[in-house]
Chains A and B, each alone.
Chain A
């Protein structure tokens, strides 16, 4: 008969000659790996509980700790790799659906890394962003298709509502409940400082954060948690969540154990009760139905706010986006399959959806062909990791990018991928007050501001190199991209030539 024991993934290596038994590691590890043994007068570790989050490593004052990948391995097998074997054991003992956090660690294609940017040489001048004005400001929303004049011949500016971003990056949806109060506060403050937007996710808006409303996108998902008039009014835009890149076709489920205190208040549901967002909106079965939800939100907010529809990148994304563009949505957000999550069934996360790069290229192309590209703005997410990813996304046709994992990394996340346990040692994916307070929102905000300020400089430098001084002029400018090591089909879908061509 099988035995449930799975050899620990990590090994805790303590340099005894450095360890001063200060017990910091014991206090810092919410997974209770470290323990001081008074009889032995030294620290002991229970490695079975370690998730490799490096909290103890980062705080050990004498640098006595090291967490290394365990080399106790199953017999090598290219087909039955360690992960596959362990997953079978876990399911054989529990009968459970495997649940994971964060974006897929599987070696999925990253097309950003196979796209290269252009630069000016000789025949056209590059621009020095340190001396010349460079514009990274973008406006998201419907753009007029025609130039309209009144009877006196003056231009009329009856613009639909727009979101003004100082740079083409926003923080994407993470609900209060999946992440902590301090994480939300850091994001909200940083969005305000940076002149961009953060997104409430589907867990409602904490009363303390209404003051950041001008930089907040409020989300409406199938569970409609915390959605009411004041909430809709508080945000600068309303986002309808139809899907998420990490789990297309799957709803959300925040277990009752995490619905405590303020989280319950903000979601407007009783403590301890599961928060279930069903996979579909049960009132949406067609683009017509989606249009109804879009317009009910526009009516409720008196047409003052753009409505975003967020969908996961799936096989027919171009046709879907075309439908969404006709539903009255002002902005379409597309989330690629490498996107993160607070918890998703492993099989869904690692096997469903398509890469954001291909989805973006296909959607931008389709909307242009149909002559409706200017009716919507496109925002893409699902693992945007750097300023160059942003620039490549814009060149492929995006108006702006959504980042989440990158923002959490700036707040201290070490990508241990155990957010679903609720014991995040970095105070991010947890509601335990002792852990939440490890994240100082002032410091968190500053780190986010640092990150995006740096990105904005890099974006300008990359643009300047290409001789482009306005991000608007880069949008959909695929001549600025070349592919390396891509097949004909990939190049055709991306709409870019191969390097050297």
Chain B
């Protein structure tokens, strides 16, 4: 179903998404927020640039953005898929619990913070370019993968990655010397088995965005996991 978003308020845009069929092609998108919030069972392609909180609480819908997206993509997402062909703003995937966010380009600050996992729900965020500061802060589950493709001289991740991490894992591709990890996490070179585990996701990602799988794999990967799921255990005295 074709949906021209020009001059539509977000509330009206979402209303039309909720009402009509299950496959949508939105054109002329220009900053409308909250697109597809909480939705399931829809496949939505977006031309133009969606506003903040794209796919918040997403519950199974599939969204593809052919350009950049703004802040808070996939906030508290539970299930589904968000593909971004450009770059994304800050706080993407805040507290996401399931589903996938694949970004061809780079991400702003605080990507994947508070990401969780639960039983069969293991969220995945793959960032093709670089990520800003506070990547994966308080990460409690899921997988965050930053590839650093075509990054030129840009740092792979900004300051303070993994602060407060207490679950899940992060993989960084390429040279990580100079990245300062906090106490409480343990970065180590990823082995065969570690890579084998993420290979299906990675291949899918490469296929969707036209990256060369072999070129992507032809670099060292660093795996970061937390030392403990209870980082603050020793901190308190009962009073």
Contact = CB atoms under 8 A, between A and B. Distances in A.
Given A97-B235, A97-B236, A97-B237, A269 B53 contact: no
A299 interface: yes
B118 A270 contact: yes
Lowest 7 CB-CB distances: which A-B pairs, in order? A96-B237, A300-B38, A224-B95, A98-B239, A299-B37, A228-B78, A273-B229
Nearest to B77: A228
Interface string A274-299: 10101000110000000010011001
B38 A232 contact: yes
A185 interface: no
B95 A227 contact: yes
Contact of A282 (B94, B118, B235, B236): B94
Contacts of B91: 282-283
Interface in A279-335: 282-283, 292, 295-296, 299-303
Contacts of A278: 114, 138, 164
A145 B232 CA distance: 49
Contacts of B76: 224, 227-228
Contact of B230 (A98, A274, A300): A274
A495 interface: no
A301 B34 CA distance: 12
A302 B16 CA distance: 12
26 contacts: A94-B237, A99-B236, A222-B114, A228-B57, A229-B38, A229-B59, A229-B78, A268-B118, A268-B121, A269-B140, A269-B141, A272-B230, A273-B167, A274-B166, A274-B229, A274-B231, A282-B94, A282-B113, A282-B134, A283-B72, A283-B75, A292-B33, A292-B72, A295-B33, A299-B11, A299-B34
Given A274-B166, A282-B114, A229 B232 contact: no
Contacts of A345: 236
A268 B97 contact: yes
A276 B94 contact: no
B58 to A, nearest CB: 9
Interface of B: 10-11, 14, 18, 33-34, 37-38, 40, 52-53, 56-57, 59, 71-72, 75-76, 78, 90-91, 94-95, 97, 110, 113-114, 116-119, 121, 134, 137-138, 140-141, 164, 166-167, 229-239
Scoring B57, B90, B140 by chain A CB atoms within 10 A of each residue's CB, the highest score goes to B57
A272 B231 CA distance: 12
Nearest to B91: A283
Contact of B117 (A97, A270, A296, A299): A270
Contacts of B138: 276, 278
Contacts of A301: 38
A138 B53 CA distance: 34
Contacts of B53: 292, 296
A421 B238 contact: yes
Nearest to A256: B230
B237 A98 contact: yes
B54 to A, nearest CB: 10
Nearest to B95: A224
Contact of A300 (B57, B113, B235): B57
Interface range, A side: 35 or more
A296 B37 contact: yes
A346 B186 CA distance: 32
Given A99-B237, A274-B230, A295-B34, A268 B116 contact: yes
A193 to B, nearest CB: 31
Contacts of A268: 97, 116, 118, 121
Contacts of B90: 283
A282 B167 CA distance: 18
Contacts of B94: 224, 282-283
B205 to A, nearest CB: 25
B229 A99 contact: no
Contacts of A269: 116-118, 140-141
Contact of A299 (B10, B95, B141, B167): B10
A253 B232 CA distance: 9
Contacts of B119: 270
A420 B118 CA distance: 25
Contacts of A303: 11
A173 to B, nearest CB: 18
